[in-house]
Amino acid sequence: MPRPRVATLRQTRFDPLGPHVRSLALPSGRSVRYIDEGDPGWTPLLWFGGAGTSVRAFRLLEFARTLREQLRVRVVSLERNGLGGTPFDPNAGYPEYAADVWALLDRLGIANASLLAISGGGPYAAHVAAAAPGRVRSLHLACAYAERLGEAALELDLEQIARDPVSWWRYPPESPVHRIPGFADSAVEEATAALFARGRDQPPEGLALAFALYAGEPLPDLSTLAAPAFLYWGSEDGLVPLSHLERWRGALPHVAAVRLYEGEGHDVQYRHWDQILADVAHLGERVVVSQAGRTLLVDPARAEELLAAGATLGLAAWADEDEPEPRSRGARSP
């Protein structure tokens, strides 16, 4: 049979190469870079990446884009001072960033939002929440740094980072992130772009300022935050240890859940990103588990039954039979 002379192809638009970074001038006079991924009617989530990350670092979590879209979670994030393509302002700290975040949400027509911080994004999320506690729908903290807790000030070797920015993102070989196709290469690209997008001869001033804030600024008062908080931690996290979890738990008046993953480290935000999304969408009323190659969204009681019968937490991709499950089957809430 002859082939048709004309075939209609399905693609009419460009597919995105990661999140689309947009720019906007705010009333503060600062021009900001931000992302807005998802439909306007979905649950808005403000995302705060780790220390030294650009706003495009969110693409490292889009291995679960299908799940995020099924759960109807819209992600908004504002790039921090001096990172990625955002110019460095030595006078812009936590209060200025918080004001810009809420001004951006006003421009986007978003009244209330859930907040999620990973690692070094924790203090930024805390200051944003403290600036407008009544607009916070829920707060999610994944292995998030709180403040200096009696330990020595965090040392930052800017020359070493300039020589090898990828070391900032390197996970050990046993980390489950290596199961994510393309993660390692994307992390290399993010490390380089986040610190040197404005030129290789530009020092990583944004990262240096962030570390100065970490060392010198305590958590703000969060006692008026009525929103439920969800904490996610690995019991073996050596970078942001459990003392920070306890600091958050003492500072937050309404901790709805502590998801402590036995034997896991500082990659909880990736390994359990699926559960974080479920908590954003359902506020703790659903758990993501996999059984026999299927990913299920079930109530907590049913999840306990399935886990006892051999199911595992998270997307079925994590339980690929070709590779052993990297760490624990379940989580406990102390």
In a domain, 67, yes or no: yes
- Count: domains in the chain: 1
Distance CA 94, CA 219 (A): 11
Question: According to the model, what pLDDT value does residue 100 have?
Answer: 97
* 213 SS3 class: helix
- For 278, the enclosing helix (H) or strand (E) is helix 273-282
Q: What is the pLDDT of residues 124-145, one digit of tens each?
A: 999 999 999 999 999 999 999 9
pTM for the complete prediction? Answer: 0.92
pLDDT digits (tens, 9 = 90+) for 29-53: 999 999 999 999 999 999 999 988 9
Burial (0-12, 13-18, 19+ Cβ within 10 Å), 284 = middle
In a domain, 216, yes or no: yes
Q: What is the pLDDT of residue 4?
A: 78
CATH number for 104? 3.40.50.1820
In a domain, 48, yes or no: yes
Q: Are strands 73-78 and 294-298 parallel, antiparallel or unpaired?
A: unpaired
d(CA 86, CA 75): 19
- The single residue listed with the structure tokens 């082939």 is 3
Domain, as residue range, for 145? 22-285
Output the pLDDT for position 133. Answer: 98
Residue % of the chain over a pLDDT of 70: 92
In a domain, 13, yes or no: no
Give the integer Cα–Cα distance in Å for 179 and 175: 8
Reduce the DSSP state of residue 126 to 3 states and report it.
helix
CB neighbour list of residue 17: distance below 8 Å, 6 or more residues apart? none
**CA-based angle 238:239:242, to the nearest 5?**
65
Q: How many Cβ atoms sit within 10 Å of the Cβ of residue 196? A: 17
- How far is 194 from 191, CA to CA, in rounded Å? 5
25 Cβ contact partners less than 8 Å away, ≥ 6 residues apart: 31, 32
Does a structural domain hold residue 334?
A: no
Residue 152 has a pLDDT of: 60
The full DSSP string for 69-116 is HHTTEEEEEEPPTTSTTSPP-TT--HHHHHHHHHHHHHHHT---EEEE
What pLDDT was estimated at residue 205? 87
Per-10-residue mean pLDDT of the chain, 334 residues long, equals: 83 89 93 97 97 93 96 98 92 96 98 97 98 98 92 65 73 92 89 78 83 92 98 95 96 98 96 98 98 96 97 93 42 43
The total of other beta-carbon atoms located within 10 Å of residue 205's CB is: 18
Q: Report yes or no on 244 lying in a domain.
A: yes
DSSP annotation of 240: S
CA atoms within 13 A on the CB side of 171: 22
Structural domain contains residue 102: yes
CA distance 94 to 80: 10
Q: Is 109 inside any structural domain?
A: yes
pLDDT for the residue 282: 98
Query: Rounded to a whole number, what is the largest CA-CA distance in the chain?
Result: 78
Q: Is 302 exposed, middle or buried (0-12, 13-18, 19+ CB in 10 A)?
A: middle
